[in-house]
Amino acid sequence: MKVLNVAEKPDAAKTIAGYLSNGTSRRREGLSKYNKIFEFEMELWGQRCSMVMTSVSGHLLGYDFSGAYKQWQSCHPLSLFDAPVSKQCLEENHIKIKNTLQREVRTCNVLIIWTDCDREGENIGFEIIDVCRSFKSSIRIYRAKFSEITKQSIQRAVQSLQHPDKAMSDAVDVRSELDLRIGAAFTRFQTLRLQKVFPNTLGDMLISYGSCQFPTLGFVVERFLAIERFKSEPYWKLKVIDDRDGMSVEFRWARVRLFEKMPCQIFLDMCLEQPEATVEKVMSKPKSKWRPLPLDTIELEKQGSRKLHINAKEMMRIAERLYTQGLISYPRTETNIFPKELSLEPLVQQQTINRNWGNFAQNLLDSGITPRQGKKSDQAHPPIHPIKYTDTLQGNEAKVYEFVVRHFLACLSKNAEGQETTVEINIAGEKFTANGLQIIAKNYLDVYIYEKWNNKYIHAYEERQVFRPTSIDMVEEKTSAPNLLTEAELIALMDKHGIGTDATHADHIDTIKSRQYVGLTDTQHFLPGKLGIGLVMGYDNMGFQMSKPHLRSDLEKDLQLICQNQKDPNEVLQNQINKYRNVFKVAIERANLIDDSLAQYLDERPTQTEQAVIPQEVVIFKCPKCGSNMVLKDKRQGGGKYISCMGYPSCSNVIWFSEAVINVEASNETCNRCTENIRKLTFKLVRNIMPVYGTSYTTCIGCDTGFSEMLNINMDCVKRTGRANNIEHNNARNTWSSTSTSNTSQSQSIQQQSSSNNTGSARNKNPSLLELTLTSGRPAINQRPNVSQSNNSNRLNTDRDAITNNRENSSYINSYDSNSSSNRSDAPRNSSYVNNTWGNIDNNTEIMCNCHENAIQFTVRKEGPNKGRLFFKCPKPQGTGCNFFLWASDSAEPQNNTTNEQSRISNLNRNNDSHSSRVGTSNNNSRNPYTNDIMCNCNQPARKLTVHKGGPNIGRQFYGCPKGMNSTCNFFKWADEDNDNVDWDDSSARDRNNTTRKRTFQKGNAPKRPKLATKRKCRNCGMEGHTRNRCPEN
């Protein structure tokens, strides 16, 4: 059997492999040069096993946002509370370690986790498990539990393997994800805003936020403000001195002090009138100075800072190194109780050879070990204690090791013992007290050099003794402000209020120092910086206590309950996200309060800026390619909007809107037809481009395929259509010009149908609304050339039928022929028909007639079923305008929704058929059928002009609107392309006049369409990347 063993650090792997192999392990290289691999044989589970020992370097995986959420400018910080996150290797070396694990686990049957036995270690263990199981799901997994890296402890752990604790790992995952979301959201918000508001001072600074570091900063600021706001007050007190025989004894006044001088002066005068002092009481009692409790992490950090003058971060780094060398036990523990199964005598015996504390250790063994016991236990690790003796360490490592040893010996010793004497005297009715101390046995103080306890000698007083004091004086003093916080005091406050854990206190303190939020005045006391105090004051002024410990301490309690399987991790995660999201929203709304607070401390006036740094993203639907959010975004240049996948760059799904769409806004309504829960969009359209839809139209682009096709939206980018997904997912930018150019064949087919219909010829298929919009100057579908209209219609019908439960001719696109009553009568009239419509024209939008004028609204007055209904018609006098007609409301009587909805669609299509018929009476769509004049879009005879500007067209004649350049008609037609005799059914004519027909259809029949700046496209197939001469379609 082959077993893969993984430790948390390279040093630990080397030491553990040495203990398990009795020093016979063989070393080889892994893919990471820092993480070696050790191989050896040993007996396990009653059989000979091949052991492979390697390591990670702390956390192998880390939480991070996916896709575009990694980029600061790509999303609003508020969206980070709900953005998708994943655990992945964040460093190059971690990827190498991951590959090593997957390579080694391939031939192994069992995986043993040898990480540290705390929350973080358990989580690292599950990261290793996830990596290995992703490659080999059948591998068996065990957990080795140990609290010190000694041979006995390692041998005991391998013989009593357990299962990993998922609850502890879940608690770390919750905390890690919250730290990422909260920290990233507030950090981006603060940095992006304050860099703009204070560009000279903060223009290049990262202004970070953390749910632990900010309360830590709050403690420092709170103490600083207490000192700054402190007002000193004078007070007075009496002092009695008895100085004789070379010994001076001071008696303290029982009233302590008075804050008014006159009463104190009166008491002084009384004492001076009767200065004799009478001894009323002499008490003598034993007094003890308690030896220290067993050493835990908090005390190690505090005492290291206070006694050794080593900051907490460096103290823990050294302790970790001593642990991996097997010199001390695990340094991250909350336990201050020695377990009964831990044998202490051998550990003391090792220290007897030291010349500084060896004699004390020997005396301790001779007199007996009496360890002091605390009240805390994490049920995982014993208190910090020495494991192995050494005298080869240097510098701070030697200091830390010595402290651990002396503390260990001291807590096993006895308390220091002394005799305290208290003397009370009476002078003119006022009481005074003096104390003396005589040390009898120093005990633990002999080895614990970090504490002092000295004798305090007083005279030998007896009760009822009367003596005259040397002096009785009134002393004036002032109250003093508290001192700035020391690191030891700050750690104590963090521990008291539950900010962080014993393993993270040093990291949080180091973070606020590195961010320049705080500094050290004398290498010992913390002073808040201008930026730090300004941030705290700003958030406090908002009305919620961001700098106070309540939010974070609640989370720490919940994490502990997760470890005990008393709370669901997902529930805790969501509750905390909701809590901080609400706080963040308030922070955005009141961001100016932070500006004002910082302005008081920074030497720079705030620059006026907008409240919102980045527009908030609007999720429209889930990406059908990768499942990420598809959001509505503003284009960085040129205005307009587009829909982009937040999984970019791994997913490049995107939907571009042409410049015919002025603006797009997300509606609060979601489509009730789409299973994808797509949000409806409101499109503001350029006038005259799509008169049927007016200038404002609200619809769902997922199921309103007619409108989507007109905007050339690829449905594969919106939803899973069942078509092949191995094509490129990018939806190319749409341009009206390229669309028209690439649809010459389609346009010809439409004109054929219109012409043949007007001459009485039979039509095989009713024109769709999409076809009619093409003939009336609206955008065509972006299709390849030479694709027949009938095929296109069939494809549209097929897509539509899939949506409408295979009901033929009931779609919004498949309109009814206004000239055929039979077609209208055959339309289905089931109750679900109204559900087959997708969008709605806004009530306040402009309805355009076919003359491209604002239609006028009328009301039906004639008696009948339509009385009271509103409708639109052309504003020009009858006979001079177009035959435009459109019902404004679905029904005069709401109960008959089905019939009236069909009627509305029929009227809409009848209007378009009418316009198509009017335009298609001649092969040249621009001519007046009666006068044979070239007509512009205003129905006026066009004006013939000549090109005078230098270029290839100089001298060429063309037709334009007679109203001149100020006209919105935008009519244009080359005079030499005016050919009335082209036979559109003749293939040779079609070949000869291909270019001319494209220009005629694009320029002569419609107002000028907005264009996008795009790459040059092939004039044959409309695709980018080649020209017509090299077109593969030739």
- Neighbour-count burial of 524, counting CB atoms closer than 10 A to its CB (0-12 exposed, 13-18 middle, 19+ buried): middle
Contact, 656 vs 733, CB < 8 A?
A: yes
Overall residue count recorded for the chain in this entry:
1034
Contact, 430 vs 274, CB < 8 A?
A: no
**Do β-strands 110-114 and 140-143 pair in parallel, antiparallel, or remain unpaired?**
parallel
- Half-sphere exposure of residue 578, counting CA atoms within 13 Å on the CB side? 6
Residues 6+ positions from 606 with CB-CB distance below 8 Å: 197, 198, 595, 596, 598, 599
Q: At 851, which helix (H) or strand (E)?
A: none
Contact, 469 vs 427, CB < 8 A?
A: yes
Residues 6+ positions from 348 with CB-CB distance below 8 Å: 361, 364, 365, 369, 409, 412
Contact, 617 vs 76, CB < 8 A?
A: yes
Q: At 859, which helix (H) or strand (E)?
A: strand 856-859
Structure tokens at 22: 């009795």
In whole angstroms, what is the distance from residue 759 CA to residue 704 CA? 33
In whole angstroms, what is the distance from residue 375 CA to residue 383 CA? 12
| DSSP result, 491-535 | HHHHHHHT-S-TTTHHHHHHHHHHTTSEEESSSSBEEE-HHHHHH
In whole angstroms, what is the distance from residue 242 CA to residue 245 CA? 10
Residues 6+ positions from 486 with CB-CB distance below 8 Å: 305, 306, 524, 525, 526
CA distances from 866 to 827, 888, 889, 894 (A): 20, 12, 10, 12
Q: Comparing C-alpha atoms, which of 836, 769, 831 is closest to residue 803?
A: 836
How far is residue 509 CA from its own chain's centroid?
23
Structure tokens at 60: 């192998």
Instruction: For CA atoms 390, 394, 395, 397, give the dihedral sign.
Output: negative
In whole angstroms, what is the distance from residue 543 CA to residue 555 CA? 21
SS3 string, 408-449, reads HHHHHCCCEEEEEEEEEEEECCEEEEEEEEEEEECHHHHCCC
Active site residues: 330
What are 467's strand-pairing partners? Answer: 277
Contact, 368 vs 404, CB < 8 A?
A: no
Neighbours of 920 (CB within 10 A): 19
Residues 6+ positions from 250 with CB-CB distance below 8 Å: 239, 240, 241, 434
Q: Comparing C-alpha atoms, which of 890, 804, 814, 840 is closest to residue 699?
A: 840
Contact, 898 vs 831, CB < 8 A?
A: yes
What are 476's strand-pairing partners? Answer: 236
Local structure of residue 258 (DSSP, 8 states): B
Q: At 821, which helix (H) or strand (E)?
A: helix 821-825
Q: Comparing C-alpha atoms, which of 528, 491, 145, 146 is closest to residue 315?
A: 491
In whole angstroms, what is the distance from residue 708 CA to residue 75 CA? 26
